[in-house]
């Protein structure tokens, strides 16, 4: 059985595995989804979101979001290969997120929790960081590995003839999860580090990131906010960001 799993994994590796390093943190990542597939999934999801969403009619606010986004991607070499789009959606939900390939969405609802451009830059940096570090593709890859492992074990003595179809099945199961599910704690913390680094490099005040997360932590006591369900704002997050900022100055 071990042999089957091993052979399946080799099959996966042959179809386009990449060992890469996350920007800024340098963490080693195993990524089984190539960048084209990853970007296509993100683009697909962005299209369907835009079909059902209303763009903000506030030109000043929209321009502000676009400008902050552009300022942040401008300081990252890794960001240059993407086609970035920054959208402000008219939606009272408190949310912001980015899709693989560089499509970043802010809801008007989250702006009410931001006192200045630096706080917008904090969330912008964080979302851009998820894209740059390929967190979606990494999560898909983890899911694929566990699916393949399970399938290979269940077929016990029979070695699958087509590794390609195994890969496709696993890929199909994993691809949605990569785009839709919340990120893990590890990814959240890494996006905080990369995001704070980028906002600092772009000339924004990183201490405002702490203020934003403190504000979120306070808000979480009274209500369920969408952004907080995927981005828990707790003592540890704020402590980690504070410690990282000290290394920058």
CA–CA gap between residue 7 and residue 12 (Å, rounded)? 9
Three-state DSSP class for 243?
A: helix
Question: End-to-end alpha-carbon separation of the chain, Å?
Answer: 53
77: phi then psi, degrees, rounded to nearest 5: -65, -40
Instruction: Between 125 and 170, name the residue whose CB sits nearer to Zn ion.
Output: 125
As measured in angstroms, the least distance from the Cβ of 130 to Zn ion is 6
Q: Using CB under 5 A, which of the segments 68-76, 104-112, 190-198, 209-217 binds Zn ion?
A: 190-198
Q: Helix axis angle, 185-201 relative to 135-154, nearest 10°?
A: 160
3-state secondary structure 120-156: HHHHHHHHHHHHHCCHHHHHHHHHHHHHHHHHHHHCC
As measured in angstroms, the least distance from the Cβ of 192 to Zn ion is 8
- Is 83 marked active-site? no
CB atoms within 10 A of CB 231: 23
Instruction: Between 78 and 188, name the residue whose CB sits nearer to Zn ion.
Output: 188
As measured in angstroms, the least distance from the Cβ of 188 to Zn ion is 5
Q: What string of DSSP letters covers 46-79?
A: HHHHHHH--B---HHHHHHHHHHHHHHHHT-SGG
As measured in angstroms, the least distance from the Cβ of 240 to Zn ion is 13
Q: How many residues bind Zn ion (CB under 5 A)?
A: 2
Contact 198, 75 (CB under 8 A): yes
Q: How far does CA 206 lie from the centroid of its chain? A: 20
Instruction: Between 138 and 188, name the residue whose CB sits nearer to Zn ion.
Output: 188
Which of 38, 127, 138, 190 is catalytic? The answer is 127
Which residue is nearest to Zn ion, using beta carbons? 191
Instruction: Between 131 and 144, name the residue whose CB sits nearer to Zn ion.
Output: 131
Each residue 133-162 as x (binds Zn ion by CB under 5 A) or -, in order, gives ------------------------------
Each residue 55-74 as x (binds Zn ion by CB under 5 A) or -, in order, gives --------------------
As measured in angstroms, the least distance from the Cβ of 200 to Zn ion is 18
Site for Zn ion in 210-229 (CB under 5 A): none
Site for Zn ion in 169-188 (CB under 5 A): 188
Catalytic residues: 127
Query: Where along the sequence are the contacts to Zn ion (CB under 5 A)?
Result: 188, 191
């Amino acid at each position: 059985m071990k042999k089957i799993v091993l052979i399946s994994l080799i099959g996966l590796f042959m179809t386009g595995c990449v060992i890469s390093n996350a920007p800024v943190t340098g963490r080693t990542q195993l990524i089984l989804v190539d960048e084209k597939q990853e970007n296509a999934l993100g683009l697909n999801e962005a299209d369907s979101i835009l079909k059902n969403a209303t763009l903000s009619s506030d030109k000043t606010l929209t321009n502000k979001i676009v400008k902050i986004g552009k300022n942040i991607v401008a300081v990252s070499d890794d960001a240059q290969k993407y086609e970035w789009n920054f959208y402000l959606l008219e939606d009272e939900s408190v949310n912001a997120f980015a899709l693989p390939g560089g499509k970043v969405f802010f809801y008007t609802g989250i702006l009410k929790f931001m006192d200045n451009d630096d706080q917008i830059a904090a969330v912008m940096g964080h979302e851009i960081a998820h894209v740059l570090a390929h967190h979606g593709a990494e999560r898909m890859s983890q899911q694929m590995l566990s699916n393949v492992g399970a399938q290979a074990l269940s077929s016990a003595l029979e070695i699958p003839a087509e590794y390609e179809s195994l890969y496709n099945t696993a890929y199909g199961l994993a691809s949605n999860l990569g785009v839709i599910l919340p990120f893990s704690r590890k990814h959240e913390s890494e996006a905080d580090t990369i995001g704070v680094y980028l906002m600092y490099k772009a000339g924004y005040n990183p201490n405002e990131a702490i203020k934003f997360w403190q504000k979120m932590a306070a808000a979480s006591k009274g209500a369920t906010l969408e952004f907080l369900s995927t981005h828990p704002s707790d003592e540890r997050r704020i402590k980690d960001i504070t410690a990282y900022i000290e290394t920058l100055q």
